[in-house]
Chain A
């Protein structure tokens, strides 16, 4: 812990110093876009409360129905969408930098599936408290991460991005079948668990977000501490060791941070795939391959994708809602194909 804190202290000013101005501008522009998306998320919905009535609420007026819809339904899911977006975007960038694979993504590699399976298991065993659900999700994500890492360490598989994704897909499918098996064992819990099979922001409350805030903060601190060693690791393990970093410890911290982030996101929104793929992809396109710069851009890009997808999910099939996970997959799958089909697979 002390080492981690020292590391933050040592890298914070340096980071600010070295952050090129090239990143500051897109960061601000993207943050403004997130604000716009957040505004749209508060104003638009599948219900009868349209933008006019919602604006009246924002200005301090509005009828009871509109106040309820804006304050208790749309605002919580917007805030949760922002948190989930940051968590998934950043964890995608971390995983990609660690595995040096542009296709590494929590959803594709089975980290989310492990997390969802753990939640289903906890629910079956009778857990219901929100906090217990969070820790179960994070433990599941940790196990998922460790499995990913063990695949990466395998000679041959780790160096081929597509084979890693294939291994991850097989792992995800395995966990999904375990989750279905749990559904078969206990039909009574099925309704509650089905929610965990595909992600959604609907019906979540601000309490759920508060329950995961501490772990998000811890993960944020870890990310600040490991950004620089991670960038060094991109130059190769020997170089990183030569610069005084310890690759094994950095990897461990990355896994810890990713488990905390993905576990928290899954606990409040269920498994949402492809955000961790698309967001770092876009961030690298804007900021270049340096993980420190890309991480900064992931912070606004993640929420931008999740919140916009959530707004769409409400408008497309009103008066019902589409699950968020379906929409992120629709946006993300083409990016996956594009990355794979690119003539030269970008290696990190």
Chain B
């Protein structure tokens, strides 16, 4: 029996081994040709490199630019007329195809995209429409998490076939944040901070789970929302002026959608309840661009936030 079988087994064995080797050799080739992505709406298979990318999400635009891909169309930043100002250096002109919450499908169609990168908040109806125009990649992000941007960036990188570039950009951000953390610790900078948006009836405290808070945390600062932000929400309701002491910490980052952060600070200081806070009296209120700090995400936004953080806090 063994005499008969031995050659057969041997042939089978060799055949399998050969096939396995062939498959291993073919894999990189196959992935460049067709790659399968795990998205919020199931698997999406992409072929080749996308030439006309439309981004329907601030984080997708940021990641694409960081990866060296210039999209042909994008949505406006929240509360703005165009894309966020911090991206001005990376991009000359881009077609606007709507706002994050209201995408103009016809404008998307006009760009004749071959790849669409969308927001995790997109509805399934919109996804159904968009995926008929071009393969649509939606990150499966559940609620707010300070590090969600990394997973999103990696997925967009896969879609753009620029994984190495994006991985390097993420590593740069992590290294930069760690560097800043040790520099701040060295200078013994006070680290109790709060991030708010000023409204005329009171401040909205931003969640510790949003992108900017995650970076502040990575830079060694204690972001505090005083337990005011409900789980799953990006910010609290406007706080009563009687409760402003809750935002009286070592540093107060005042995000505003207005062009001039200084104007927002002036407007806030017109309120006596704000003006009497210790953090205001000590001039430790840092007006920051809300387009960057409360709406953006991605490697470029992270670098821009860390730049501002360094300029504001390091003596």
For residue A133, CB closer than 8 A to chain B, the reply is no
Does B259 contact A188, Cβ atoms closer than 8 Å?
Answer: yes
Chain B residue at smallest Cβ distance from A185 = B81
Interface string of A183-195 (1 = CB under 8 A from B): 0000110111011
With A187-B79, A188-B258 in contact, do A202 and B241 touch (Cβ < 8 Å)?
Answer: yes
Interface string of B246-282 (1 = CB under 8 A from A): 1000000000111100000001000111001000000
Total interface residues on A, using CB and 8 Å? 29
In whole Å, how far is A315's beta carbon from the nearest beta carbon of chain B?
10
Q: How far is it, in angstroms, between the C-alpha of A233 and the C-alpha of B267 when the chains are bound?
A: 48
**On chain B, which size bracket covers the interface?**
20 to 34
For residue A73, CB closer than 8 A to chain B, the reply is yes
Interface string of B168-191 (1 = CB under 8 A from A): 000000000000000000000000
With A47-B243, A319-B246 in contact, do A188 and B202 touch (Cβ < 8 Å)?
Answer: no
For residue B200, CB closer than 8 A to chain A, the reply is yes
Q: How far is it, in angstroms, between the C-alpha of A45 and the C-alpha of B273 when the chains are bound?
A: 14
For residue B125, CB closer than 8 A to chain A, the reply is no
In whole Å, how far is B286's beta carbon from the nearest beta carbon of chain A?
18
Chain A residue at smallest Cβ distance from B290 = A191
With A73-B273, A191-B258 in contact, do A45 and B200 touch (Cβ < 8 Å)?
Answer: no
Does A203 contact B202, Cβ atoms closer than 8 Å?
Answer: yes
Does B237 contact A317, Cβ atoms closer than 8 Å?
Answer: yes
For residue A147, CB closer than 8 A to chain B, the reply is no
Chain B residue at smallest Cβ distance from A313 = B240
A1-9, A64-72, A211-219, A340-348: which lies at the interface: A64-72
Q: How far is it, in angstroms, between the C-alpha of A320 and the C-alpha of B245 when the chains are bound?
A: 13
With A203-B201, A203-B271 in contact, do A187 and B240 touch (Cβ < 8 Å)?
Answer: no
For residue A228, CB closer than 8 A to chain B, the reply is no
Q: How far is it, in angstroms, between the C-alpha of A41 and the C-alpha of B258 when the chains are bound?
A: 34
Which residues from chain B contact A65 at a C-beta distance below 8 Å? 245
Does B242 contact A47, Cβ atoms closer than 8 Å?
Answer: yes
Q: Which of B140-182 contact A (CB under 8 A)?
A: none
Chain A residue at smallest Cβ distance from B263 = A188
Chain B residue at smallest Cβ distance from A318 = B240
- Choose one: A45, A48, A188, A320; the contact of B239 (CB below 8 Å): A320
Does A320 contact B240, Cβ atoms closer than 8 Å?
Answer: yes
Q: How far is it, in angstroms, between the C-alpha of A187 and the C-alpha of B267 when the chains are bound?
A: 16
Does A73 contact B239, Cβ atoms closer than 8 Å?
Answer: no
Most buried by A among B198, B200, B271: B200
Which residues from chain A contact B199 at a C-beta distance below 8 Å? 191, 194-195
For residue A200, CB closer than 8 A to chain B, the reply is yes
Which residues from chain A contact B237 at a C-beta distance below 8 Å? 317, 320
Most buried by B among A68, A72, A205, A319: A319
Which residues from chain B contact A194 at a C-beta distance below 8 Å? 199-200
Show the binding face of B for A, using Cβ within 8 Å: 79-81, 198-202, 228, 236-243, 245-246, 256-259, 267, 271-273, 276
Given contacts A45-B242, A191-B258, 17 further A-B contacts (CB under 8 A): A46-B240, A46-B242, A48-B243, A68-B272, A73-B273, A187-B81, A187-B257, A188-B257, A188-B259, A191-B257, A195-B200, A195-B201, A202-B241, A203-B241, A320-B240, A321-B202, A321-B240
